[in-house]
Copies of this chain bind each other. A is one copy, B any other.
């Protein structure tokens, strides 16, 4: 049952997350220290150990929240698109992903930058579950596209055997769906191009040549659209 203390505790956990995020945004990742969070909340650092087992655990919780936020924004952006316009859906979700990354570069770095932060964890992590939700969002869209408007995919025996076996494992053990392996392959190819390109841009690794990578991103979307048999439409000005 929901006691009064439970509510207070949940509120404090929420305040800790919000404070950590504010510091992350305003002062950068290295400023997100237990002492800084506690200071900002009018507490002392050891008190935070009542809520999180360690600094790393607090950060992993924040990562989970961020994954959930990002997933939510993608899903709600999807709802604003005509239900049967698969091309628009794919474009919207891709652009929204990039838009969130650019609007929240430090959060994005926490989610998709070099890992390590607090190293690996044995148990299934809260953050990992949330990350899976994000992956699922893309996967569901891809699956819907495949069912409504099948696009060309390689036959199983056209796929490199070493890759084939891994795709099979991912399909059967993780996704548990019934799809040709070629669809999984195309999905991963698209995802790698999308996340790879966005990461490079957000982390500043394209600045050596491009001040604004938006047109390059759109160029990538035209290519991906072509691969998937979708009609590309330029972004709306809104």
Within 8 Å CB of A30, what residues of B? 116
Within 8 Å CB of A174, what residues of B? 208-209
**A196 to B: closest C-beta gap in Å:** 2
Copies of this chain, tallied across the complex:
2
Within 8 Å CB of A132, what residues of B? 208
Given contacts A116-B29, A163-B216, A219-B163, contact A195 B200 (CB under 8 A): yes
User: Which residues of A (160-207) have their CB < 8 Å from a CB of B?
Assistant: 160, 162-163, 166-167, 170, 174, 184-185, 188-189, 192-193, 195-197, 199-200, 203-206
Decide if A114 is an interface residue (CB 8 Å cutoff): yes
Decide if A46 is an interface residue (CB 8 Å cutoff): no
Cross-chain pairs A/B with CB under 8 angstroms, 28 sampled: A112-B205, A113-B114, A113-B203, A114-B203, A135-B208, A160-B218, A160-B219, A162-B215, A163-B216, A166-B209, A166-B215, A167-B209, A185-B219, A188-B209, A188-B216, A189-B216, A192-B196, A192-B197, A192-B216, A192-B220, A193-B193, A193-B196, A195-B200, A195-B205, A196-B197, A196-B199, A196-B200, A199-B200
Within 8 Å CB of A189, what residues of B? 216, 219-220
Within 8 Å CB of A140, what residues of B? none
Task: Please report the C-alpha to C-alpha distance between residue A215 and residue B188 in the assembled complex, in whole angstroms.
Answer: 12
Whether A188 and B210, one on each chain, are in contact in the complex, defined by CB atoms closer than 8 angstroms, is yes
